[in-house]
Structure 1
Amino acid sequence: MTIRVPATSANLGPGFDCLGLSLGLYNTVTIKPANFQTISIQGENKRILQQKANNMFVDIFYQYYKDLTNEKTKFSFDLTNSIPLSRGLGSSSAVITSAIASAYKMAKIRLTKNELLQLSIKLEKHPDNIAPAIYGGFVVSTIEDDTVMSLKKNIPNTIKAVVVIHKKTISTKKSRKKLPHIYEKTDTFFNLSRSSLLTASFFSENWDLLRVASKDKFHETYRMELLPVLFDIQKHSYDSGALMCSLSGSGSTMFCLCYENDAAKLSNKLSSKFSDCRVKILDFDNQGIKSYE
């Protein structure tokens, strides 16, 4: 059994902890019953992950598999990772969702995407990455009485993502400590109006409103101060044709959205300007997590 889960970009400016979308960049895991456990890791952060005593995916998988079956079956795990760690592209959400889904698949127990969402939120407290990883597309989410409620909109192929992945990492925990405990009323109104407009822009496919709609006063400035070059990347992205450019999650990646015909030009200009970054043109993923036999 093979399972594939996409990278995600969360917040999208003003949608702090509630807005996210799915990108065409994937982690893939193949699992087979085996006489003894083996773990093979390829791709992003291979050396770091191999040095860890515990593998997060394997730990979560066995936790759920044993609860579901009461069996101690051994498996081989072949992990191929394209989602970099600690770059704001949803690597933790990818692990959590795929590990739980894999456990149910190997236990031969049906699991709906909504059920997977409700299980995953117990391990990842914010739905902005979890929901698009599961559903794909652009997703707006809220939590009511410990239950996640989400709405999805498919993203057309007439627009592309250009992600600028800095070589330095930013810790989500560290960056959250930079945020204020109290916000001014005017800043709250600012973000409410932009988050609402951003959501409406995606659902109506009115992309020309995104530059205004993606402005934020809750978190981006505080987090980007940890790596000031991100301000330059954002400015240069707008100067080079981006429709929006926001900090992806807690960083250090900057997420840009542009028209399909502008993607190559934007990517080339950013690549030539910022040598400490990898720049990728990505499609948007509208399927979310997916398994194959």
Structure 2
Amino acid sequence: MGATPSLGPPSRVNSMARKPGEQVRPQAERVRLCVPASTSNLGPGFDCLGLALSLHNVFIFEPAPEVSVVVKLHGCDDHDGQMVAEGRRNLVWQSADEVFRRTGARVNGLKITMNLAVPLARGLGSSATAIIAGVAGANLLLGSPLSDGEVFGLIVDLEGHPDNVAASYYGGLTAAMICKRTPHLIRYDVPPDIRIVAAIPDYPLSTEKARAALPKEVPLSDAVHNLARTPFVIEALRNGALENLALAMDDRLHEPYRIALLRNGRAIRKAALAAGAAGVAISGAGPTMIAFCHEPTAKAIAEAMTAQLKGGRVEVLGVDKKGLRATVRK
């Protein structure tokens, strides 16, 4: 188990990176970033827990006269590609442009090549990968005028909540919070034989629609219910003892209200548990559902979930321990 230090406020620029009055310009001719997908909440850890997954989007930045976005699909369908905005409306560019604005950099254009394997609007952190790539890629392109803490702080600032971005940025299992606009997190390693079986439907579900389904207030007993179970989820995943995960993943704050938005969601959960899953949860805002198990039972669980999934695909994934990877060519 490891804990990160407190991270600095997202708006502060690293004054040691450049001299006063010095113009920030691109220092690299190519930046390549590999960002893992993530699942969040993990049942009771609403807007707090995140887990990086062995499914990745790859982004390549190259300075150019104008903003252009090239999309290549790897496992995603054409509908996912159609959901990616072009030019300056693209989330990756908008995130990168925030770095350019805050550092005073003069960057008029950028060629962004996106190799997408994480389906959009499925509860697997696709927007988190885009924001991470935009902020981290722009910072590396400029020669890293922002510190690591400032980069992560800006990422959280743009995403609005830290659960998915913490896991995708740092890898492994993360518990994150925001205090006085500053993100804080704890990172945990997960045993290598843990598998996450993801039932990914062929339809999207926006975070906005999923959040609109939630009540404005919840009973105190439901809040206590979730608080009591969240540490058990962390410990089960940290040490690989999954025996009590089904009890620990019993959520009362969001899943009871969102399950109706998922086609055959209850049947998928029931089938996964019957096939040997230690615990089942809605991944993020949905509609993907995830089942946790050890490697030997993953195939049977995948087959059971596939039988109940009305369109889409089921993937058996591991935990990504590394988080963001980047290479820079100058």
TM (norm. structure 1) is 0.94
Structure 1 residue 199 displacement after superposition? 1.8
* Match of residue 210 from structure 2: 175
* Match of residue 32 from structure 1: 62
Counterparts in 2 of 1:123-202, with a 5 A limit? 123-202=158-237
Distance 2:54 2:150 in 1: 23
Structure 1 residue 212 displacement after superposition? 0.9
C-alpha contact (below 8 Å) 1:157/1:283 kept by paired residues: yes
Deviation per CA, 1:159-207, whole angstroms, max 9, x where unpaired? Answer: 1111001112222112212212221122121111111221222233322
Cα–Cα, structure 1 residues 78 and 277, in superposed 2: closer, same or farther, change >3 Å? same
* Match of residue 89 from structure 1: 124
Distance 2:204 2:103 in 1: 36
* Match of residue 114 from structure 1: 149
Deviation per CA, 1:11-56, whole angstroms, max 9, x where unpaired? Answer: 0100010011000111111112234443210113123326687211
Larger Rg: 2
Distance 1:89 1:215 in 2: 20
> What SS does structure 1 have at the residue aligned with 2:319?
coil
Report the number of matched residues: 293
Counterparts in 2 of 1:1-293, with a 5 A limit? 1-43=31-73, 44=76, 45-49=80-84, 54-109=89-144, 111-293=146-328
Structure 1 residue 115 displacement after superposition? 2.8
Distance 1:231 1:126 in 2: 27
AA matched with 1:28: V
AA matched with 1:263: A
Structure 1 residue 58 displacement after superposition? 1.4
TM (norm. structure 2) is 0.84
Distance 2:298 2:146 in 1: 37
AA matched with 1:163: A
Distance 1:79 1:214 in 2: 34
Stretch of structure 1 that moved more, 10-19 or 73-82: 73-82
Deviation per CA, 1:250-275, whole angstroms, max 9, x where unpaired? Answer: 10000111111111221122223324
> What SS does structure 1 have at the residue aligned with 2:243?
helix
Stretch of structure 1 that moved more, 24-33 or 265-274: 265-274
Stretch of structure 1 that moved more, 239-248 or 70-79: 70-79
Stretch of structure 1 that moved more, 35-44 or 154-163: 35-44
> What SS does structure 2 have at the residue aligned with 1:121?
helix
Structure 2 residues without counterparts, runs of 5 or longer: 1-30
Structure 1 residues without counterparts, runs of 5 or longer: none
What's the RMSD between the two structures over aligned residues? 1.8
Distance 1:270 1:113 in 2: 39
Distance 2:278 2:167 in 1: 21
* Match of residue 24 from structure 2: none
Deviation per CA, 1:97-151, whole angstroms, max 9, x where unpaired? Answer: 1100001000011555433221111111211111101111000112211111111
C-alpha contact (below 8 Å) 1:136/1:288 kept by paired residues: yes
Distance 1:141 1:53 in 2: 30
